[in-house]
Amino acid sequence: MSINITDLQRQIQQNCHISDANFSGAFSLCILLLRLRNLYKWEVNMPPWQEPDRGDLLKWVEGRESLWLGLEGSSPEALVLNGQVLDSLDAPRINQLLKDSGLFYGAGLVTGMKPSYFLARPIEVRVQEGLEVCIVDQELARDIFSAPLMRQGGQIVARRQAMASTLWDEVLELRASSSKALSFAFAQYGLNLHRLRKHPVLESHGFMQVVNAELETWIYHEIGEAMVDTFPGQVWQRMVSEQANTLVEVFARAVRDLLADTHPFGLLGHIISEKKSASLGFYAALMRPLSRNLYPDILPAVQDFMFKNDWDEIERVRRSGYSRGREMALQLVEVYENTDELDPETVRNRVVDRIIRPMGLADSLDGESRE
């Protein structure tokens, strides 16, 4: 039976609107505006390096806020596909029905337990390190949350459009703390960062080559995450569900990201084994403040690497980062394994008092809890 793509797209986009309406308040104003701008660019088919007319964008934002107001409090709707009524989060079952349609459906609970959905056209599906990797390009439906990669069980999804937006946002913002690493990274591809900012259309082909290459590298973050065994599944689900939109969730996700990056078969492990200098530069440039606090050795090491090209030192720092990540993860697990009968607020206070506050991270976490 053929798929009515237009109808399916409409159903999924409606759930995207409902999710955005219910969870947009979890973002800081700055992050919300950035995500809205990127969502607008996607809706009008605008490349990442093209900036929208301010008046058009503001008018669109007003309309989107009005739409959300009417949907706030609604629940995501089941999808009807080929006469079957399906849970909107049952991506494996839905993709089984889409098998021969040239479409891929993504769905899952992201930071803050926000439901996130998208419909896209896959350009490659392969098995890598025992995991199914699906790379998608054109997206037909999506919500305000758009991460370049996501993993569910044994499947990794890499989103090319989201990767392009992520890298371009860094180019456009060009923070003082990351400019050297970003310049170094683009230079490894023969691109001058300042020329790219000034003449993005002329450099667009080279920029997209970077996007495609780095997306392939970033897949190893998800591979590393799949191999991390420090967080028992039941404990992890309890952390992120009971502590959604709290300092504990932000901290736990940052610790798991650190473990995924520093695992021997994770992102940094792959970068080191393949000697990917550009990817090392991008890794340093795109680190969030909390990750820098959790992993303070990496930035000075990358700064030295730009002059010394010492992969042995980067490997040493990777190993120390993995040890540090495991130590923090085991502290979290210990608290949770001994608080089965306690309410979430009491558990949250214990994590903050025993782990987060002694590390001096409370302020950093509070700043990232709304990103």
Write out the chain's pLDDT in tens, 371 residues: 578 999 999 999 999 999 999 999 888 889 999 999 999 999 999 999 999 999 999 999 999 999 999 999 999 999 999 899 999 999 999 999 999 899 999 999 999 999 999 999 999 999 999 999 999 999 999 999 999 999 988 999 999 999 999 999 999 999 999 999 999 999 999 999 999 999 999 999 999 999 999 999 999 999 999 999 998 878 898 899 999 989 999 999 999 999 999 999 999 999 999 999 999 999 999 999 899 999 999 999 999 999 999 999 999 999 999 999 999 999 999 998 887 778 899 999 999 999 999 988 766 665 555 45
Residue 132 to residues 122, 231, 232, 253: CA-CA distances in angstroms? 13, 22, 22, 23
Residues 6+ away with beta carbon under 8 Å from 160: 123, 135, 136, 137, 211, 212, 215
Q: Which of 322, 326, 311, 218 is nearest to 264 (CA)?
A: 322
For residues 91 and 34, state if they share a domain: yes
For residues 147 and 191, state if they share a domain: no
Encoding tokens for residue 172?
């456009």
d(CA 320, CA 295): 9
For residues 59 and 109, state if they share a domain: yes
d(CA 145, CA 31): 11
Backbone φ, ψ for residue 109 (5° rounding): -100, 120
d(CA 266, CA 198): 34
For residues 135 and 212, state if they share a domain: no
| Domain finish residue from 163, 186, 206 | 163
Residue 115 to residues 170, 173, 216: CA-CA distances in angstroms? 26, 28, 25
Predicted local distance difference test score (pLDDT) of residue 370 = 47
* Within a domain: 179: yes
* Within a domain: 241: yes
Q: What is the pTM of this model?
A: 0.94
d(CA 235, CA 216): 30
The residue range of the domain holding 359 is 174-368
* Within a domain: 330: yes
Encoding tokens for residue 271?
């970068």
Q: What is the DSSP letter of 88?
A: T
| Domain finish residue from 141, 163, 185 | 163
d(CA 352, CA 95): 40
For residues 178 and 33, state if they share a domain: no
For residues 118 and 203, state if they share a domain: no
Q: Which of 110, 108, 106, 116 is nearest to 249 (CA)?
A: 110
Total domains in the chain come to 2
Under 8 Å between Cβ of 260 and 266: yes
For residues 19 and 151, state if they share a domain: yes
